[in-house]
Chain A
Amino acid sequence: MIERIHSAEELEVCEEVGRGGFGVVYRGLIKANNNEVAIKQIDLESNNTDLFEINKEIQIISECRLPQITQYFGCFVKHYKLWVIMEYVNGGSLFELLKPGPAEDERVISIIIREILLALEYLHNQGKIHRDLKSQNILLSKSGQVKLTDFGVSTQLSSNFSRRNTTVGTPYWMAPEVIVNNNGGHSFKADIWSLGCCAYEIFNGKPPLQNQYPPMKALGQIGRCHKDTDFVGLIELDKMNISNHFKDFLSKCFIVDPRDRYSATKLLNHKFITKYANLPEKSKLLKKLITNKHLWDQENHVDRSHNFYVPTEIARNQMKWSQEDDDSKNTAKTIHFDLSSIKQSSPTRIAYPVSPASSKRSSTRESSISPPASTVGDDEQKPNLILADYRQNSKIVSKEDTFANNLRPDFSRILNKVFHKLESKNTLTTEQYDHLVSLNSRLLDLLCFSQYSESYDSNNRKILVFQYLKYFLKELAKSGDTNSSNTKTILQRLIIPSTFTVSSQSNVADSEFVTMERNSRTYSQFDEIESSLLESWIDQMNERWS
């Protein structure tokens, strides 16, 4: 039967496969039989771990024995760490597997959803609610099995590790009653709503509303659904190019009143599920999903040896939203960086729109300095130049792309090195990783662009980029003049690391490389939402003092 693991001596710890606020997850081997397991190490000394909370979750997972739920093999304490041993599921999460593109084959959707329904039926029959059902928590094995995971501690693989109280992105999977009645009035039917969202997600690649709304707005939209037609209309279910069975299945999941919403047992008897329940090529179809992902990884130079880190899609979207949200305001006042033209010609690349905050930062700087030398004068025009060039140079895009693709692997290597360096000094959160990744990509875009600009000599452009970074920091590092804007002091406090003394300028411009590195740190210190908040705050300040 089930062999329990009692101590660390029985295990061999292999590579890291994920990490989060709670701790690190490793792949491991049972020495006795070489079976793979997932080892989650929770740091009990860390401030945010609550022993009672952890106990509760271990209790839940230890009470689940079902092929569709990741199995629990025991746990023990070693020094200040709690090791939780779980089944290792080697195919990756559904979230990862959807990255190459959605799975539009309804057979695949039906098969996956059926397995999850079996898991939910089991849980619900025991009065357990998963509460956080989403594609990140659905794992696939290479043999084509589907497993529900993450009851708080059992998170594994490089999925979204955000803690539950700070669940960025989870809003899209939330049922209306969870949003409206947050006093804990919701029942296991909330899981069914989330399941509908997952089914939708498999077909579309994204959960409902993610492409239209930022998380908090989506939350509002879902919360405002009172009639069954409200949500179904919102996601334009009628216009989806899917079978009637699938459509009906989704509409049963998206019934607003939880009492009328179908139960897992009832949905298991729905035609959309029964239709493919006995399909002989079941596991073959699911295996194909995994093979596709591998091929896609290869084509896109995803370094397999570093597959433990994959940036969350959500962070990228946030960037987009924060941009879109402020579009109306920004276009009027500030320079709007738009790299979208590049994106169109190269589907595999993701263009990062420069966040409004960074353009704002540069303009604030411009207003506060008086150019002491000619070089600085050049530098000052920089944002405008780049903007102009991005608009003009869409014709050189293809050339630029090949260059970028050649550089990308090297850039990733540098990125991974930086990760290791930073990692050894301070433990990074998933979010921080994401910031570094996006910064790295932006730098690449910037450099590739300057390499292939035709209007100016390329060397000059490269120098400009770095001079811009250099002077940007230099200006920030200057101690605020007596009556210059307070906003600058605020910026300084926010951006410059506390270890770095404001008045000493010599440190800043030692070499361009150093500045670059330092700059990357400063960016990683706050996320898109924070920077857009900062920006609106600065605007308010300006208005008040002008």
Chain B
Amino acid sequence: MAFLFKRNPKTPQDIVRALNDSVLKLDVNSDNNKKYQDECARLLAQVKVVLHGDDENDPQPDQISHLAQEVYATDCLYTLIANLKKLSFDSRKDVLILFSTLLRRQIAGKSPTVDYLITQRPEIIAMLIKGPESQETGLICGQILRDCIKFEVINKYVISSPLFWNFFKYVHLPVFEIATDSFTTLHDSLTIHKKLVSEFLANNYDVFTTQINKLIQSNNYVTKRQSVRLLSELVLQRQNQAFLNKYFDDSTNLKIIMFLLSDKSKNLQLEGFHIFKFFVAKPKKSQKVLDILAKNKENFIEFFNAFDIHSFNDVNLADERDYILMEIQKLPEIERIS
């Protein structure tokens, strides 16, 4: 790539400006579209050389700095994300590389890109959240967004946005990889920054529980399994205490988890068990939860005696089951009116 510089010595600023110009010329209906796509691809390749060097040249910090400044000054990231779909298939991945490299770049412990995104162009984050709505660019946006939410301020922005709840729709999208990618983003945004999430869950208990319960009751096996897995991860977090107290007192949740125990899939049964055990083990149970547990005492005993724990390679599982079984046996007998 070095020959490009020799023949065509462009400064990083030149490259960024030229890139902005070319992207804005992209138009699917134009005959010249292919030409500008190629031009964008070529310029993005040059951007990559500035950022990462090539065989002959190592990246130069001052060049990177010039490039970054120009990117912020010209709103280049905004232009690129807004027109992502118009870029060629391979160029879109170069946008990902540019975005992620700039995000990671830190000056005095702070990422200037994060500041730029939050203070100047939060629209970019909104566009990224809506990424899964496009089949062509959904995966690229998903990857960029996950790189973004590694920074707590952006994570906070994302989960505070009303758009965040869209992810609970996106995970149902028919294109498998977009749906699972959305799930990964949903998962990351609720697991990386623990303190942030604990506040979020406490403040949004009702909406969140309704949404996650919907996912758990989905007909799609993958959605079901991923959402139960996410829930058990959240349940295991001590910081989420406020959320947990509400969640395990709610008999609706218990019913949904009991459905999982009776699912045909062994893995869903197991995932269900890992949540169910907290309902039983909780020291102070709500009356409603206690009623349901007691009413189904015999069923539970029967179920746990047949619960096939040997097919899972988990040494603690037998102990846990025995403990839960013991707790269930301690439940009061209920007189049945038959």
Contacts and interface: CB of A to CB of B under 8 A. Distances in A.
Partners in one complex: yes
Nearest to A76: B176
Nearest to A84: B176
A51 B139 contact: no
Contacts of B229: 51
Interface string A115-142: 0000000000111000000000000000
A263 B55 contact: yes
Contact of B222 (A6, A44, A47, A125): A44
Interface in B164-190: 174-177, 180-181, 184
A45 interface: yes
Contacts of A74: 175-176
B291 to A, nearest CB: 33
Interface in A37-73: 44-45, 47, 51-52, 55, 58-59, 62-63, 65
A45 B93 contact: no
A55 B93 contact: no
A125 B226 CA distance: 32
Given A65-B89, A126-B93, A77 B177 contact: no
A75 interface: yes
A62 to B, nearest CB: 6
B312 A80 contact: no
B160 interface: no
Given A55-B181, A55-B184, A77 B222 contact: yes
Contacts of B311: 47
A79 interface: yes
Contacts of B220: 77
Contacts of B184: 52, 55
Contact of A45 (B174, B226, B265, B313): B265
A75 B174 CA distance: 10
Contact of A47 (B143, B221, B265, B312): B312
A307 interface: no
B176 A63 contact: no
B225 interface: yes
Contacts of B211: none
A65 B90 contact: yes
A399 interface: no
Contacts of B222: 44, 51, 77, 82
Contact of B139 (A6, A63, A76): A63
B97 interface: yes
A44 B225 contact: yes
Contact of A51 (B97, B225, B312): B225
A245 interface: no
A80 B221 contact: yes
What is the predominant secondary structure among interface residues of chain B facing chain A? helix
Interface residues of A, number: 26
Contacts of B313: 47
Contacts of A45: 265-267
A80 B265 CA distance: 8
Contacts of B139: 59, 62-63
A218 B296 CA distance: 61
Contacts of B54: 265
A77 B226 contact: no
Interface string A254-291: 00000000010110000000000000000000000000
B180 A266 contact: no
B265 A51 contact: no
A298 to B, nearest CB: 41
A65 B88 CA distance: 11
Nearest to B312: A47
Nearest to A265: B55
A167 B48 CA distance: 34
Contacts of B93: 63, 126
Nearest to A128: B93
Contacts of A127: 97
Contacts of A52: 184
A423 B230 CA distance: 36
B180 A55 contact: yes
Contacts of A77: 176, 220-222
A44 B55 contact: no
B111 to A, nearest CB: 19
Contacts of A125: 48
Contact of A79 (B97, B221, B266): B221
A127 B99 CA distance: 14
Contact of A266 (B55, B143, B221, B265): B55
Contacts of A51: 180, 222, 225-226, 229
Contacts of B89: 65
A127 B139 CA distance: 16
Nearest to A6: B174
Nearest to A80: B221
Interface of B: 48, 54-55, 89-90, 93, 97, 139, 143, 174-177, 180-181, 184, 220-222, 225-226, 229, 265-267, 311-313
22 contacts: A44-B221, A44-B225, A45-B265, A45-B267, A47-B312, A51-B225, A52-B184, A55-B177, A58-B177, A58-B180, A59-B177, A62-B177, A65-B89, A74-B175, A75-B177, A77-B221, A77-B222, A125-B48, A126-B90, A126-B97, A263-B55, A265-B55
Given A58-B177, A76-B176, 12 more contacts: A45-B266, A47-B311, A51-B222, A51-B226, A52-B184, A59-B143, A65-B90, A75-B176, A79-B221, A82-B176, A125-B48, A265-B55
Query: Shortest 9 CB-CB distances between A and B: which pairs?
Result: A55-B180, A75-B176, A126-B93, A58-B177, A263-B55, A77-B222, A76-B176, A266-B55, A62-B177
